[in-house]
């Protein structure tokens, strides 16, 4: 069994081995340090010419990498903390996301920007955030998030080797030490792949041997982990059975494969770690509402409270979604029916 971190690390090594145009750019990514979260550990030793450690210049390196991508290289940029992506917003929004389209399809920008995101570690207001929502819905940027139920390494490898367009690749910090979902040892979940692009899989998890689910969770990244723990707890302690849909591609988002499940359970909950207002969950619920004339569907959102993330663990836990929040919301939505 390997962890999410090992999976990503192996994928980077394999990508640089298989693709001579691939190169890594980021802050503090050289060995022996190997990056703030060690995703790039060992790579500069294997490929010393293709790992560029950079000054603290997030916008600069993303700009340089997109220039390289437009001229035939396949750069992978690491932004040390996801909290720093506002620094690259102009490059993303006004430059690399637009080039292919505004130059009338005459260029490609095959660039992967990886970044660790998320809280629950007491890092405080500027090193704990979930900011990908800023870039959801920006035409030309594909936003992808890893989880432990889909192979994170394959996701990253395919993004580097097969994509022609820029990708913002989100890795939740709490996922790094977790083991990948392994069907041969798993005794809790039945996992099925939903229709769609297999490079960016969406999985549906149901409890093995359980009756039909009463409620559908939709969650990505570490929130999928939290949702899966909640599913087990609800099933064992209260005999409430839920299903969990876990997308890896957040934007552009294809809602169609999810609709049959939602029509079945008629109860829906999105779970996200970003702030609640104008968030990912709001968009998912809107798309579902546009496709259903059925007012019997009940839906709710779980998300972070709309204020900065405090450093104190007690305050942070109150701000970010927790297992108790989800259970309380499940009770509320089911009891209203």
Partner 1 sequence: MSKTQKAIFAGTVLLIYPTDYNFPNEIQASMDNQTLYHKLFLIRCFEETVLDNFPKGVFPGTTHTYIGQEANAVGVLSHISPDDIVFSNHRGHGHFLAYGGDPHLLFAELMGKASGVCGGRGGSQHLHWKNFYSNGIQGGIVPIATGMALAEKRKGSGAIGIAFLGDGTLGEGVIYEAFNLASKWKAPILYVLENNRIAQTTPIDMSLAGSITARFSAFEIPYCELDTSDVLVISPTAKKWMDYVRDTESPAALILHTYRFAPHSKGDDTRPADYLAQIRAQFDPIQIHGARLNPDERMTIENMVRDQIQNAFMDALNDPLPKVATT
Q: Residues interacting with partner 1, by CB under 8 A?
A: 52, 54-55, 57, 59-73, 90-91, 94-96, 98-99, 101-104, 106-107
User: Strands, E, within the chain: which ranges?
Assistant: 22-26, 51-53, 74-78, 112-117, 142-145, 167-172, 189-193, 202-207, 215-219, 242-247, 249-251, 267-275, 298-304
Closest CA to 153 of 184, 189, 109, 114: 114
20 or 177: CB nearest partner 1: 20
72 or 209: CB nearest partner 1: 72
Question: Minimum Å distance from CB 141 to partner 1?
Answer: 15
User: Residue 41 is encoded by which pair of tokens?
Assistant: 């550990």
57 or 229: CB nearest partner 1: 57
Question: Minimum Å distance from CB 86 to partner 1?
Answer: 13
Question: Minimum Å distance from CB 92 to partner 1?
Answer: 10
Contact partners, residue 45, CB within 8 Å, separation at least 6: 31
68 or 144: CB nearest partner 1: 68
**Cα gap 305→307, rounded to integer Å:** 6
Edge to edge, what strands does the sheet with 51-53 contain? 51-53, 22-26, 74-78, 112-117, 167-172, 142-145, 249-251
96 or 227: CB nearest partner 1: 96
**Cα gap 168→301, rounded to integer Å:** 24
Helix axes 323-335, 222-238, angle to 10 degrees: 60
65 or 245: CB nearest partner 1: 65
Question: Minimum Å distance from CB 153 to partner 1?
Answer: 26
Number of neighbours of residue 305 by Cβ within 10 angstroms: 14
Q: Residue 16: in which H helix or E strand, if any? A: helix 4-18
Question: Minimum Å distance from CB 254 to partner 1?
Answer: 17
Question: Minimum Å distance from CB 115 to partner 1?
Answer: 18
Question: Minimum Å distance from CB 94 to partner 1?
Answer: 5
53 or 300: CB nearest partner 1: 53
β-bridge pairing 112-117 and 51-53: unpaired
100 and 140 in contact (C-beta within 8 Å)? yes
43 or 224: CB nearest partner 1: 43
Longest dimension (CA), the chain: 61
Question: Minimum Å distance from CB 52 to partner 1?
Answer: 7
């Amino acid at each position: 069994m390997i962890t999410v971190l090992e999976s990503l690390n192996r994928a980077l090594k394999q990508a640089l081995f298989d693709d001579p145009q691939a190169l890594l750019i980021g802050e503090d990514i050289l060995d022996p340090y190997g990056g703030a979260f060690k995703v790039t550990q060992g790579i500069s030793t294997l490929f010393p010419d293709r790992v560029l450690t950079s000054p603290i210049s997030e916008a600069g390196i993303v700009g340089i990498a997109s220039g390289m991508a437009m001229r035939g290289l396949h750069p992978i940029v690491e932004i040390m903390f996801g909290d720093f992506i506002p620094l690259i917003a102009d490059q993303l929004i006004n430059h690399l996301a637009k080039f292919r389209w505004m130059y009338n399809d005459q260029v490609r920008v095959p660039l992967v920007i990886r970044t660790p995101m998320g809280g629950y570690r007491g890092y405080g207001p500027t090193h704990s955030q979930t900011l990908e929502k800023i870039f959801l819905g920006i035409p030309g940027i594909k936003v992808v998030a890893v989880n432990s139920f889909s192979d994170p390494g394959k996701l990253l490898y395919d993004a580097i080797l097969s994509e022609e367009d820029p990708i913002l690749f989100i890795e939740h910090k709490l996922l790094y030490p977790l083991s990948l979902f392994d069907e041969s040892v798993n005794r809790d979940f039945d996992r099925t792949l939903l229709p769609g692009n297999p490079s960016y899989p969406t999985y549906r998890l149901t409890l093995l041997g359980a009756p039909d689910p009463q409620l559908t969770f939709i969650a990505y990244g570490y929130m999928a982990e939290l949702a899966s723990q909640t599913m087990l707890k609800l099933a064992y302690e209260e005999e409430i059975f839920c299903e969990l849909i876990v997308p890896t591609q957040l934007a552009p988002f294809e809602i169609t494969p999810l609709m049959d499940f939602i029509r079945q359970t008629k109860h829906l909950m999105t779970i996200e770690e970003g702030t609640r207002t104008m968030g990912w969950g709001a968009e998912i619920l809107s798309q579902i509402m546009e496709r259903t004339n059925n007012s019997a569907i009940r839906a709710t959102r779980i998300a972070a409270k709309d204020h900065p993330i405090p450093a104190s663990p007690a305050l942070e836990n109150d701000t970010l979604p927790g297992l108790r929040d989800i259970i309380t919301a499940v009770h509320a939505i089911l009891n209203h029916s």
